[in-house]
Structure 1
């Protein structure tokens, strides 16, 4: 049988086998009789692919899930996917367009059949990618927000809320995507600054005595103006309040009103009020009881006549503007204003433009009939739950964000003008009377009672906002409304891990719905993580070309394929060349295969509580090196035991063994505490410190003298070193497993049987728990002294450029009685690790020969250099190095002294140059100290 250590660490060769092992042994299903622990996987879009945000979030959840499972708790990580109404419908419509088909021509039934076929064929792609990340979800319980069971539950919730007076239908202003022709949520709107114009338009007074100049960025909407507003304290316009203006182009009379909303400093201080096409105007219009005039069609073209709400007059639109799209209408309105002498001037103006995240179209505030949830009654108990501590946010500062939003909450628009989704369970009679019911038969029966006869009913064509079904996720996936064992055991869930950007859209709504239907919060804690940014702190986006695919980092990708991926789907195609150039500079050979464990450990190590993380590939490379270090350490440890019998019998622990056992206890305590407090970066740092520095760099080296018999070691002492080497490794692998599941599973299956342990998976082995009584302070002090001694010797070698393998004579002087005792006790380690040829003491007053000096407390370490180094050659080397550093220092100073560099270069580049300046200055200082040391030896 081939040993795993016959080859170097290769992630691709172990990851599939590990995941098959976990699924074969049903590791991810709840087991045992420990306390319940449950996390809900935020359902990713069924159209989605794994991105860095998923990788980050899912890694943190898996760390929690694996830790609690190993602690013996009954763990459920509930997975599933979201039907992603807009994204999925758009994707399938594009497929149809390539085939020359159109959704409306097919009809709703045929179109939905086509979407379901797509879902069956391709809809689980994101799930497979999440599995690749090592996520230990209970896939046997996977749900889909549109599966039959959840669809019935969504209908049930809608009907109950309607019956309780918490759902209603009304005409209000919504975010409207004129390309998709549906209402969209705020989360689906991307607002970015763009350059535009500010047009200053003259609105003449009806009596001909003057005019007001109104500044607007959307002159086409003046067709729907119903007033001009000024600030009540603005002395320029106080006398105009209550007077009438003639609306340009249209000729309709409109009033001048006063309102605190108006900013006197913006534009002219006069604001046109179009309540049907602006959210702020809508609120102002409600305060002043102004009518609403809608001048747009659903596809953002000008109507033949404005729809008037709240008044009994008509709003005809000039024939020349009818049917024009909004931007053509803008040009026509501006031209007519110029022709009539009503355009005073045009200014360049930077403004915030809202665009649909799917279509890229500019979003219109649009007046439509929609279904709403009356949120205020639901918000009150959701606020109280946090105030009373039933629900806690981590970090705590997100509590304020939650309260700020909840206290300003408005009714929730839950209808979407789509076909893919949960169709609203409402039917309309011939006169528009609505019947909300769980099924059509029930609606028909209610209609018959209402009308006294059988009448034809038409079902509402709209579907529910995707966030509506997602808000029910914590309890519906556990079987509600039935009182299932899972619901009783796992609800409320333990923690929700999520990003801050959906506290409003998802977290708060889950809290409201959970309290409404379960009379309990859906989770006890909410851990809010930051966003993943690139190494320069920029948000990852295709247009910037800085998006990294987690699968590319795990599996590797060559340069040609990487460039092709970077240039696909760019919003700005002209950037493709820039991206390719940057890619070739950053990854000359493409991205190597770092493996899943390296990516996961990097993400966890960057998860500083509550902060956005800067993702740097150098950190992934460092994590891959960490994997190699652990792999090679395990290879060395297992090679020390030819037969398991070599570990049997009496053993004795030396100081290094007692020290590493104590360090393991301290690390176990630190890691457990950090995980419990969601300080993932601290846990990762503690693990890295233990494995890399304590175990690999020092303990393995400290164990070698006994293992090799390089001293007067007994058989029991040698056996103690072997046992400790393997037992500490085995426990360390269990401690590391939640962060690096694949490499730890593979190594544990090799190491555990050697120490009398084993099982189907490390994931079911107990998580290490610290025993602080095993910390041996005397051994700890001894090893710290020993490490300081060896480090001092190695510093001399480094400073004097002495080859590591060259044996050195060592003279000792001064120190304490304890130092002398330790030198005697640890001489095998000093000779072996220090590569000494001799070790002698200088008596008090005895003159030392020319030697390099290092101190360990009061103990002087002297390495005579006669015959060890060539002083002249060393002086020449140092002189050449000094000249090189001085040249680099001069160039860096000159660059930083240029104002043009500081003004034009990105801030991160300037900071790097400043850091380089500091590094060069420190290097020259160290070089000067070495040169001074040589002069002393001459």
Structure 2
């Protein structure tokens, strides 16, 4: 009935008096974490015989700091890893950071700007050295904050996407993909930031509703005239066609004809393309292949030229009156010119539409035709989809799989080149005669006059896509790779399924001979404020988790986040909830101090069941049930259910009932007290171990003091020993029911919680006689005494409790108060019933109004029943 697998060891061996009267998290957490790291508890051994359990941390940006989203996901990953470590697994939680190409380069460029310099002033090599210096001095702030949160990561294996080993992995996989025809160079439409001067990925584009202008422009003359609408009038300088639907009768006569492009000396064809929606707008669209992805596709289908009309900074390059104008200045200038010519047919201003902005600098993104490097994702995406479909990888919760398939089944080729200096430089050299050579890490690049390396670097997501295996030493077949790949759980937000999860799947399956990079993808929601609103600086509701940790402790923040973590669902969080979690930590602290003061012990086996009271057997039966339910919850990633289960077991059952019921036993002494001391020690020992993965600091401080053992971090996870005692559980359920009913009656009569009342308990035939002393203590019931007169009698669960309330309450005043409240409730019931019985009212009233009245009616009925019962139970006058 007990698991005595906790290790002996050189624990603190502290006396109960060594546990302060109050818990001060800031005095405990830092020193405990450093002790864990110094003792190597988080370091995994690739040579051990233990089964492995691996999680690689989603690498935070080197420029980043801990926000609530990080704290949320890190808490859950830490809980998984700590539990597996306690279960006897060789648990590896591998930390590291992403070099964050654009974000980091921007940071250093901002520094240079303050010095009046640019990266061009330094040159590529010196600028890159400067970024490395910045990284060493300022980067990685988040790593220290992870320690503050309690992340049990293996710091000896910390990796960085630009370190030597990971750079080798990047070069190796680029070479293999290139040689297999899965990486190629081509001119396509990409997202371009005119401020950062680089292509950016889809995830780096933030879309928002902007108030622009929709103008309708007349192209052509006479019977060739047609109207197109656009929000980007400046791009008309690059139009090379107008497209219409082939079955649109309005324009069938124009298909194949040339029409005059306003403001230019060019004519452009009218082409028929099924992409055009004849029901949208005028049914005719301008085609600018170099500045719109849909237009680019139309241009390819009809062999249209692609004319770039602006440079990389968004400045118009077309010779003529608009040359040299910024794109937005050109937009208004061109509209004015068209208006002067009578070409503007309609204008809508403001016109709200979705516009992409660079997530780094907020500049409006420009679709731009550009020569870039691409990954051919077709076969890679197919493999990534198959790995989930055939069960090699499970997605949790399962309903999230649809999002994953929607992406991998419809994935477009991936632009992987960036026009930056910070990052993995593309390992391709160009020769003087047009030669192109891709060079692997073990190969020498070509030398000689005219050979140059490609100036671009790789998208940050390219290197982070290798993270599950590059961090373990790939392409070398290291002991770590052999032991810890594939990883077990990828826990991340559902918002980056597309950008990171799918890419890790593609690269892992490709590089590791069809072995996926993880067995389970556990997807979380996003952290929101207490009202369910997205956290945003513009909303003023962003919370720094470090502030909350300063005030309430890391455990309180962790427990609050875990308690809201339903699979795939967003997580609302407010400061009041963190305060409540701090109170829970204090309750744990106080209960353990009580146990220590009363001699609770964890030494030796538990007494035989026949020596235990029903109360002892009840709490042990409940404990084993809770262990089983916690295990099931963890295996299903139900962190909220596990947290809630442990909260209510600890607070409601252990502290509010078992501890309180045990007080009379401890006061009486003797063998029953010795038995309960051992049971209380067992319950707290195992409860603290169950809670440790979520609230590691307070449980470590309490468990080591309670047990005298080394550390709960390396203690055994509690096992379900199979002990169940339905009879004891039923008996204690009756005790709790009687106590709860009498407490409710006392409160109804306005008695103070500590006010003592004479009472007679008639318990014959109920099996509750052994609990009379405890029940009297909990209910503040005095012995009857010589002058006892039963003025109120309550039958509960077969027992009868008679109370003498004479002189304790003003019965007549209480009766008048209850009768007044009852009259008000009866009036409310009469009014709501009349309304709900009025067919005319029901026919006209909105549904929410009717629902509100029904709710009022139900409340009135409940109040009447409650008040009537209270009046009936008043002492007889």
Within a 5 Å distance, the mapping from 1:230-245 to structure 2 comes to 230-245=244-259
Partner of 1:55: 71
SS for the counterpart of 1:214 is strand
Q: Which moved more, 1:279-288 or 1:52-61?
A: 279-288
SS for the counterpart of 1:292 is coil
Partner of 1:760: 710
Within a 5 Å distance, the mapping from 1:615-634 to structure 2 comes to 615-634=573-592
Within a 5 Å distance, the mapping from 1:15-414 to structure 2 comes to 15-31=29-45, 33-205=49-221, 208-304=222-318, 318-348=319-349, 349-414=351-416
Partner of 1:564: none
Q: Which moved more, 1:927-936 or 1:819-828?
A: 927-936
Pair 1:730 & 2:730 matched = no
Using the TM superposition, give the Cα deviation of residue 220 of structure 1 relative to its aligned residue in structure 2, in angstroms.
0.7
Using the TM superposition, give the Cα deviation of residue 100 of structure 1 relative to its aligned residue in structure 2, in angstroms.
1.4
Within a 5 Å distance, the mapping from 1:486-505 to structure 2 comes to 486-505=480-499
Aligned equivalents of 2:282, 2:178: Cα separation in 1:
47
Partner of 1:857: 797
Higher relative contact order (CA 8 A, sep 6+): 2
CA contact (8 A) 1:650 1:716 kept: no
Structure-2 change in CA distance of 1:251 and 1:876 (3 Å): farther
CA contact (8 A) 2:601 2:681 kept: no
CA contact (8 A) 2:468 2:517 kept: yes
CA contact (8 A) 1:25 1:760 kept: no
Aligned equivalents of 2:162, 2:861: Cα separation in 1:
62
Partner of 1:776: 725
CA contact (8 A) 1:49 1:126 kept: yes
Within a 5 Å distance, the mapping from 1:799-814 to structure 2 comes to 799-811=748-760
Partner of 2:470: 476
Partner of 1:444: 446
CA contact (8 A) 2:564 2:640 kept: yes
Partner of 2:567: 609
Partner of 1:311: none
Within a 5 Å distance, the mapping from 1:690-839 to structure 2 comes to 690-709=649-668, 715-753=670-708, 759-772=709-722, 774-811=723-760, 820-838=765-783
Pair 1:667 & 2:607 matched = no
| Alpha-carbon displacement from aligned partner over 1:249-285 (angstroms, at most 9, x marks no partner) | 1131112223232233433222111111111111222
Aligned equivalents of 1:272, 1:674: Cα separation in 2:
56
SS for the counterpart of 1:671 is helix
Aligned equivalents of 2:141, 2:107: Cα separation in 1:
14
Using the TM superposition, give the Cα deviation of residue 762 of structure 1 relative to its aligned residue in structure 2, in angstroms.
0.5
| Alpha-carbon displacement from aligned partner over 1:60-102 (angstroms, at most 9, x marks no partner) | 1001000000001001111110000000000111111112121
Structure-2 change in CA distance of 1:598 and 1:880 (3 Å): farther
Partner of 2:833: none
Structure-2 change in CA distance of 1:327 and 1:390 (3 Å): same
CA contact (8 A) 1:852 1:933 kept: no
Structure-2 change in CA distance of 1:211 and 1:680 (3 Å): same
Using the TM superposition, give the Cα deviation of residue 860 of structure 1 relative to its aligned residue in structure 2, in angstroms.
4.5
Structure-2 change in CA distance of 1:884 and 1:200 (3 Å): farther
| Alpha-carbon displacement from aligned partner over 1:875-906 (angstroms, at most 9, x marks no partner) | 576689899999999xxxxxxxxxxxxxxxxx
Structure-2 change in CA distance of 1:726 and 1:441 (3 Å): closer
Q: Which moved more, 1:526-535 or 1:26-35?
A: 26-35
Aligned equivalents of 2:857, 2:316: Cα separation in 1:
63
Using the TM superposition, give the Cα deviation of residue 506 of structure 1 relative to its aligned residue in structure 2, in angstroms.
1.1
Structure-2 change in CA distance of 1:928 and 1:781 (3 Å): closer
Structure-2 change in CA distance of 1:233 and 1:616 (3 Å): farther
CA contact (8 A) 2:167 2:424 kept: yes
SS for the counterpart of 1:191 is strand
Aligned equivalents of 1:291, 1:480: Cα separation in 2:
45
TM-score normalised over the length of structure 2 = 0.90
CA contact (8 A) 1:850 1:937 kept: no
Using the TM superposition, give the Cα deviation of residue 397 of structure 1 relative to its aligned residue in structure 2, in angstroms.
1.6
Structure-2 change in CA distance of 1:653 and 1:72 (3 Å): same
Using the TM superposition, give the Cα deviation of residue 617 of structure 1 relative to its aligned residue in structure 2, in angstroms.
2.0
Partner of 2:8: none
| Alpha-carbon displacement from aligned partner over 1:488-507 (angstroms, at most 9, x marks no partner) | 11101111001111111111
Aligned equivalents of 2:576, 2:759: Cα separation in 1:
39
CA contact (8 A) 2:54 2:489 kept: yes
| Alpha-carbon displacement from aligned partner over 1:619-649 (angstroms, at most 9, x marks no partner) | 2111111111111101111000299999999
Aligned equivalents of 2:634, 2:185: Cα separation in 1:
46
Aligned equivalents of 2:793, 2:238: Cα separation in 1:
87
Using the TM superposition, give the Cα deviation of residue 241 of structure 1 relative to its aligned residue in structure 2, in angstroms.
2.5
CA contact (8 A) 2:602 2:685 kept: no
Using the TM superposition, give the Cα deviation of residue 739 of structure 1 relative to its aligned residue in structure 2, in angstroms.
0.5
Aligned equivalents of 2:415, 2:607: Cα separation in 1:
73
1:541 pairs, out of 520, 536, 539, with 536
Number of residue equivalences: 837
Structure-2 change in CA distance of 1:460 and 1:781 (3 Å): same
CA contact (8 A) 1:531 1:611 kept: yes
Using the TM superposition, give the Cα deviation of residue 155 of structure 1 relative to its aligned residue in structure 2, in angstroms.
1.2
CA contact (8 A) 1:646 1:719 kept: no
| Alpha-carbon displacement from aligned partner over 1:284-321 (angstroms, at most 9, x marks no partner) | 222222221111100011014xxxxxxxxxxxxx5210
Q: Which moved more, 1:500-509 or 1:854-863?
A: 854-863
Within a 5 Å distance, the mapping from 1:625-644 to structure 2 comes to 625-641=583-599
Aligned equivalents of 1:915, 1:732: Cα separation in 2:
44
| Alpha-carbon displacement from aligned partner over 1:797-824 (angstroms, at most 9, x marks no partner) | 11111122222233567xxxx8634242
CA contact (8 A) 2:493 2:525 kept: yes
Using the TM superposition, give the Cα deviation of residue 390 of structure 1 relative to its aligned residue in structure 2, in angstroms.
0.7
Q: Which moved more, 1:519-528 or 1:798-807?
A: 798-807
SS for the counterpart of 2:19 is helix
Partner of 2:436: 434
Aligned equivalents of 1:319, 1:96: Cα separation in 2:
36
Using the TM superposition, give the Cα deviation of residue 418 of structure 1 relative to its aligned residue in structure 2, in angstroms.
0.4
Runs of 5+ in structure 1 lacking a partner?
305-317, 446-453, 556-592, 754-758, 841-847, 890-909
| Alpha-carbon displacement from aligned partner over 1:321-352 (angstroms, at most 9, x marks no partner) | 00100011001101110111101120132200
Structure-2 change in CA distance of 1:642 and 1:616 (3 Å): closer
Partner of 1:14: 28
Using the TM superposition, give the Cα deviation of residue 217 of structure 1 relative to its aligned residue in structure 2, in angstroms.
0.8
1:515 pairs, out of 498, 509, 517, with 509
| Alpha-carbon displacement from aligned partner over 1:445-492 (angstroms, at most 9, x marks no partner) | 6xxxxxxxx433111111110011111111111111111111111101
SS for the counterpart of 2:445 is helix
| Alpha-carbon displacement from aligned partner over 1:194-219 (angstroms, at most 9, x marks no partner) | 222210111124xx424111111111
SS for the counterpart of 1:155 is helix
In angstroms, what is the RMSD of aligned CA positions? 3.0
Using the TM superposition, give the Cα deviation of residue 937 of structure 1 relative to its aligned residue in structure 2, in angstroms.
4.7
Partner of 1:530: 525
Aligned equivalents of 2:169, 2:74: Cα separation in 1:
27
SS for the counterpart of 2:277 is coil
Q: Which moved more, 1:537-546 or 1:869-878?
A: 869-878
Structure-2 change in CA distance of 1:214 and 1:8 (3 Å): same
Q: Which moved more, 1:286-295 or 1:804-813?
A: 804-813
Aligned equivalents of 1:883, 1:98: Cα separation in 2:
76
